[in-house]
Structure 1
Amino acid sequence: MSKTRSIGCYGGPPPEVPDPGREIWAYDGALSILLGQLLRDVDGIPPEHRPAWWGSCVEELRTQAMFSDLFFDVALRLTADERDELADLFEGTAQRLRERAPRTPGQADEWHLVFRGDHAYDLGPIAELGQALAELLRGVLLSPPPGTLWLYGAPGGRTTISPR
């Protein structure tokens, strides 16, 4: 059974009441797979071509991929231009995930990712989460219905939850 976790784009501590335009929820296993793939993708870029800010964020991304009980501020204290670069990276990773077969825990053994069970994960909802994080970083995420927050990474794709 997956657990859910909160992801915001605040650039600081989250507010008492979630802002639906700046915060989403995701299944922890989906986020773990997405971040693990993002880390692998950027590791494949020659160091001289990686974003200059990457070194200051990579450990936080690894931590978020491995631990499921932490709030994740995807803004990572980056500037607006740097957040846009990170959004580009998430979009590239999402596209690569859409082109792959489902993943099982055994196929991700180079990372200590959060997997629940031994079933294969459909990568469509995980890619959708990557696209949502890119939109969150750019401040263009579609607003959820009133009184709800988006939930990504669920089997069958995006849905909503009550923030209460």
Structure 2
Amino acid sequence: MAGTDYTTIGIGTVLVTYLAGLFIGLSEELLTRGLVVNLLRRSGHGELTVMLLSSLIFALLHSTNIFTGQPVLTVLVTMAFTFVFGVAMYLTLRVTGNLIWPVLLHALTDPSTFLATGGIDTEAPATAHPTVALAGLSVWVFVILTVIALFLVRDRAASGSREAVR
């Protein structure tokens, strides 16, 4: 968020982008971490299965980007990243026990990425703010930590824990 030059974008675009991000985050999280997670848990699937399947469904939702004319490789990379992001949002849900936190994180991630990289209606700026470059590096740290977390998840959820989606 700090790496975006908001003066060149315009307040209207910024507000609409964050509002759209809120709706996107809300709808995608309600579907994948809300509905899918609850259905999988109620059908008796273990913690690891719920995390992986809900994240896979989240990634598959992004396969439709192929219909916007994006190159296949771009769509596949996006799907790989959204799978990892889905795992992180699942872990956020699991740790907090409340769906609002993945919704808010998701609602901030998409718009800030679009605005910082010029993804609204232009290509990424040639001279991006140093914090954008730092964010790019932090994505790799995020991916590595999320993959490590995959191995730490036990295939069960303790009864009475904060597993219920509120």
Greater helix share, structure number: 2
Greater strand share, structure number: 1
* Structure with more contact order per residue of length (Cα contacts < 8 Å, sep ≥ 6): 2
**TM-score, scaled relative to structure 1:** 0.32
Q: Which has the larger radius of gyration?
A: 2
